Structure 1
């Protein structure tokens, strides 16, 4: 059963992607552009955005820092219309409690979660006023449950998952769709930091196709690749007496 209005025709639709300078965000923006969407890309790296626009005529670049609420609001106010907004900005550094860094914890929080709140503050009045639109938050399977090396990253993604669930409940009757994207391992500059073998690793282009396929089906949660994410979902259902030993065996940590 579709939980959202299926998004199948992107022609003439304005889609704003925050965090689109590389990885999943850039690939998704490119795929949307190819399907006729008016794509607006934002990130801190202005040069990367300009390169995207040069390769995708008609796209628009709005450089900004998602952690700056005034910049996010100004960008939103500059758009004539918003049919969909995708928050895919992300920050990741491996961290364990034995090497705790408050500065890193706060940086993850600002980019991965607080930036999404800034986006919502900027776009919700417009979406509610027009009575239609779609909000998509890119989280991670790392938000399903606690994992080694994910002390800073995982909690921010768990917060996004909860935020998306609550947004869906609050906005469904207002005609606004909400979707949650939970990728496994995707080949991006963020995951390039990992020193372990990443199971079921996929490319950003593969991720983008999965996302658009999920939107077309009206799904709330879009998780991929299934051969990995279903396993992670199953682990998260285990009682802690079984979960903790299983994670230690799997990761060696």
Structure 2
């Protein structure tokens, strides 16, 4: 059973992707443009956004810093001036490996500001317009790192867990008003963020493969879009383990 209205025809739809200068966000913008959507791309890096627009006629660049609520609101106003938004996706993210034995408070808070507070800034800016229309879809890019606590994920994991919980609450509040809500939980995707990892990443996929999986999830009307399933299904099973089994298993599997 579809939990959301399926989105299969992108022609004529207006889509705003925040965090679209690199990685999954850029690949998703490219994919949706190819399917006929009018794509609005946002991120801090104006040069990368302008390069995207030059390569994808009809798209629009709205540079912003997601940690600046005023800037996000101004960008939302500009985006909505062109017409209603059919889908808004928060793809922005920050990641640095961190353990409690080497805690960096500034970077801990940077994760919170970008990964969590930035999403709240965007939701606050666009949700009233979607509610007034009674139509549209909100999507948050989280991660399997938000499923359970993991080594080296002291800063990143809690922010992604927050997005999963946030998406669940949004769905309960907004679905009765005709809005779609989805949470995207990728495994390992080859992006500038994961390039810093020094360990072998299981089931690593490309940003283009991630974009294909996301669009397929929206076409199915899914709430929880997770991929690649050969990896994410294992991670979901780990959520069911009691702590007395989970902690030793993770230590053995990671060596940490």
Unmatched runs of 5 consecutive residues or more in structure 1: none
Task: Report what 2:217 is aligned to.
Answer: 214
Unmatched runs of 5 consecutive residues or more in structure 2: none
1:94 aligns with 2:110: no
Deviations 1:208-231 (A, max 9, x none): 000000000000000000000000
3-state SS, counterpart of residue 11 of structure 2: coil
Distance (Å, rounded) in 1 between the aligned partners of 2:51 and 2:33:
14
Task: Report what 1:2 is aligned to.
Answer: 2
Task: Report what 1:22 is aligned to.
Answer: 22
- Of the three residues 79, 85, 89, the one matched with 2:88 is 85
> Normalising by the residue count of structure 2, what TM-score does the alignment of the two structures yield?
0.98
Task: Report what 1:31 is aligned to.
Answer: 31
Task: Report what 2:232 is aligned to.
Answer: 229
1:57 aligns with 2:57: yes
Distance (Å, rounded) in 2 between the aligned partners of 1:218 and 1:83:
14
Deviation at 1:87, TM superposition (A): 0.1
1:187 aligns with 2:190: yes
- Of the three residues 139, 158, 162, the one matched with 2:142 is 139
Distance (Å, rounded) in 2 between the aligned partners of 1:75 and 1:135:
16
Deviations 1:227-248 (A, max 9, x none): 0000011111100000001101
Task: Report what 1:109 is aligned to.
Answer: 112
3-state SS, counterpart of residue 39 of structure 1: strand
Deviations 1:149-208 (A, max 9, x none): 000000000000000000000000100000000000000000001000000000000000
1:240 aligns with 2:243: yes
3-state SS, counterpart of residue 167 of structure 2: helix
3-state SS, counterpart of residue 136 of structure 1: strand
Deviations 1:51-89 (A, max 9, x none): 111111111000000010001000110122211100000
Distance (Å, rounded) in 1 between the aligned partners of 2:133 and 2:97:
41
3-state SS, counterpart of residue 168 of structure 2: helix
Q: Which 4+ runs in 1 deviate beyond 3 A?
A: none
Task: Report what 1:68 is aligned to.
Answer: 68
> Normalising by the residue count of structure 1, what TM-score does the alignment of the two structures yield?
0.99
Q: RMSD across aligned C-alpha pairs, in angstroms?
A: 0.5
Task: Report what 1:165 is aligned to.
Answer: 168
Distance (Å, rounded) in 1 between the aligned partners of 2:113 and 2:240:
29
Distance (Å, rounded) in 2 between the aligned partners of 1:150 and 1:193:
13
